[in-house]
Structure 1
Amino acid sequence: MSNAEERNAYFDRLCNTPGLMWLGQNTNHFDPHPSLRDAIIQAFDEGEYHAYAPPLGFETLRALIGQDVGLPDASVMVTDGAVEALYNVCSHVCEAGKDFVTTNPSWSWPMQFAARHGCKVVELPIYDPAQQYKLTPEQLRDAVNENTGVIYLVDPNNPLGTCHTAAEIREFAAIARSVGAYLIHDITYFHFADHHTPAYRFYPEKTILTYSFSKWLGLAGMRLGAVIANAGLIERFASAPPNNLGSNVLSQRAAIAGLRNKAQWFPEINRRQRRNQAEVLRAAQAVPGLSIPVYPSQANLLVMETVDAGVTPEALVAAYQEHGVMIRQGSYHTKRFGHRFVKISLTVPEKWADRFCELLPAMVERARAIDVPANQY
């Protein structure tokens, strides 16, 4: 079996596990606002899915996304998920021989997109309490030069949950401008942050934001995201996109409803996921050797260090899967630091988070004895 087929079979098993508690993919499993269901059913009943959507997305949705990120004058391209957005962007801005500068840890797929286009991937380590587990302006300034083509920043960071200040974002934008680099600001988790600043405000010429509906609104399986940039860049991305026939009509109608009702619904979602964070912190503190390095997280997840408890992340993941709970091993994000931690996603029903906490002491003991699986993804 090829690696791709083995990976697919792994997730197929998870998807077909009855009652699986998904605490590993940062997706939102809370019930949606009722308007989403109504919007999807209405669009289906009216047969909207028989026609292709506009290639950049419904105008109403484009406007709502711009308003949501505080950039109503920027241009928006709706995509089949934020992954497609990043794939399209990287296809247009990555050049062979140029440096693609990012952090370690980060989200790994854009690094693969960049490498495929011949970029040299430069990873700046940020797993360090001395720098508050995030990139510093000095660190970035020392890493860039005239050969830097792209700077990729996930903010808030996945998996660490740290978020940059407005002053830091301003400096990153100035550094990118100083070498003429594109700045891809991946804002997938910004809805969960106490404060967030889009880099586009400081460097609209070459800043590109990527936006997701999977995490805050819970449309992961409906595949919807967006690219936000100036009109000239959006024109480039629209010239040869992976999909030129418009994104899923039902998903777009759901997203419109979600954005229109966000103020009524989302604050309670964020309160509940912060409640879950607090419970996981309490549970980790009760088990010798476990720790939560970033708290509260500015994303809908927590990193839990296992290395001082004498437990490998992979073994702990396997132990939890025996009980129908999915968490993620750190090596998914970083080979350098992945041996230190697991990631726990917390936009989930309270009973799921509480089950994780209840099992934690026994799962640590089980992980000490378990054979580490050969492949986890």
Structure 2
Amino acid sequence: MSAPATAAPSFEHLLERPDLVWMGQNTTHLEPPAEVLAALEESTRRREFQLYAPALGFERLRTQIVEDLGLTGADAWITDGAVGGLHHICTGLAGSVSQVVTSDPGWPWPARFAGLEGVPVTTLELYSAEQGYRVTAQQIAEVIEPRSLIYLIDPLNPLGSRYTRAELVAITDLARQTGSLVVHDCTYRHFASDHTLAAELYPEGTFTTYSFSKWLGLAGLRLGAVVAVPELLGRLTEVPSNPLGANIQAQRAAMAGLSVKEPWLARVRATNRTNQETVRLAVQRSGLGELVVFPSHGNFVAVDIAGSGWSADALCAAMLERNVFIRPGTYQSPRFGERFVKVSTSVPEEWGERFAAAWADLSTPASQA
């Protein structure tokens, strides 16, 4: 094998590689809309970085987010990235929930946040084609108890599956019957087809998370939101995690991005589809692995490499030697992480081609034996 099984270097070290292909973070790397850049420049010119923002975020931005989701009657709280909102949900509600129900594969941090507060965590496995690579209502029914907090990632990071409306109806019915809450992590919703919001079905008990890192590419500005009906959201905002407000320049950029959302999304989605197809063909031609979910409902795809002779960490290290950064499944799945790697696709098409060339250059250990 051409590379040792080592963890990826820190993001700080990766930033020192100017020619690196960034396909290891689910963020958009396309040239931003001119309106977004203008908003950032104007905010800088006015030295708004010297000011605190409103504690809950600019009213206009909060309204734009609720309108984007179509959740009439809901309110939005602007947070330091979607993860800032998730942290506050898991820690701020720790005393009132009995457990957190999460998944493997999934995103590990909400369970860790809750664990720090002593909240038990129940993890449901979903790496199964038979169940569509998503948690089933039956699995939840077997472990749910009164006052649970169900953390549902939809579309699912890292595999790209998404829940149907019927599946969400079954899950939210369970939540309602047990007095449980749902956190519907919809940070990849803008890339999905036929997506349903759990808050449409269970508004009184659903927190919806929202991100500007994925579809608009504001990852480094750290901006997101939590959306819920006012009575529910108030349980968080009575004592917000950041009473001095989220990044004021990021909020200006987000408002500008939402004002041109439709033409921008058309471009991003088209590029995402092209790159997903590029990755699919590269994997197919190489004989090294197979895509788990295609097309993915996120801005990424997962490649199952079980049986190839590669570990996920070693394969990602080999790609990094070729100046292509992708992510091993071990970051998001203790149980199945060695079986797959994740490749982000809302990137310049040139990067997709560079990924394909690097992937083709890999040889399985078996072929070298």
Per-residue displacement from partner, 1:3-52 (whole Å, max 9, x unpaired)? xxxx9972211122122111011010011111001111112212323221
TM-score by length of 2: 0.94
**C-alpha separation in 1, matches of 2:366 and 2:133:** 27
State the match for 2:103 in structure 1: 103
State the match for 2:39 in structure 1: 39
**C-alpha separation in 1, matches of 2:56 and 2:195:** 26
**C-alpha separation in 2, matches of 1:367 and 1:336:** 24
CA shift for structure 1 position 366: 7.5
**C-alpha separation in 2, matches of 1:64 and 1:180:** 30
State the match for 1:133 in structure 2: 133
Would the aligned equivalents of 1:211 and 1:226 in 2 still touch at CA under 8 Å? yes
Would the aligned equivalents of 1:289 and 1:310 in 2 still touch at CA under 8 Å? no
Segment of structure 1 superposing worse, 26-35 or 238-247:
238-247
State the match for 2:360 in structure 1: 361
**C-alpha separation in 2, matches of 1:225 and 1:359:** 34
State the match for 1:372 in structure 2: none
The structure-2 alpha-carbon separation of the partners of 1:310 and 1:35, relative to structure 1 and needing over 3 Å to count, comes to: same
Would the aligned equivalents of 1:331 and 1:338 in 2 still touch at CA under 8 Å? yes
**C-alpha separation in 2, matches of 1:196 and 1:236:** 27
Would the aligned equivalents of 1:161 and 1:302 in 2 still touch at CA under 8 Å? yes
Unaligned runs of 5+ in 1: 1-6, 370-377
**1:354 maps to amino acid:** E
State the match for 2:4 in structure 1: none
Alignment of 1:18-167 (within 5 A): 18-95=18-95, 98-146=98-146, 148-167=147-166
State the match for 2:324 in structure 1: 325
**1:113 maps to amino acid:** F
CA shift for structure 1 position 241: 2.4
Per-residue displacement from partner, 1:309-352 (whole Å, max 9, x unpaired)? 11111111111111211100001001100010000000110111
1:183 equivalenced with 2:159 (yes/no): no
CA shift for structure 1 position 98: 2.0
Would the aligned equivalents of 2:309 and 2:364 in 1 still touch at CA under 8 Å? no
Would the aligned equivalents of 1:35 and 1:258 in 2 still touch at CA under 8 Å? yes
Per-residue displacement from partner, 1:207-236 (whole Å, max 9, x unpaired)? 101111000000000000000012123222
**C-alpha separation in 1, matches of 2:102 and 2:21:** 31
CA RMSD of aligned residues (A): 1.9
State the match for 2:337 in structure 1: 338
Unaligned runs of 5+ in 2: 1-6
CA shift for structure 1 position 90: 0.8
Would the aligned equivalents of 2:272 and 2:345 in 1 still touch at CA under 8 Å? yes
CA shift for structure 1 position 368: 8.2
**C-alpha separation in 2, matches of 1:23 and 1:175:** 37
Per-residue displacement from partner, 1:232-269 (whole Å, max 9, x unpaired)? 23222122222101111110010001001001211111
State the match for 2:234 in structure 1: 235
**1:108 maps to amino acid:** P
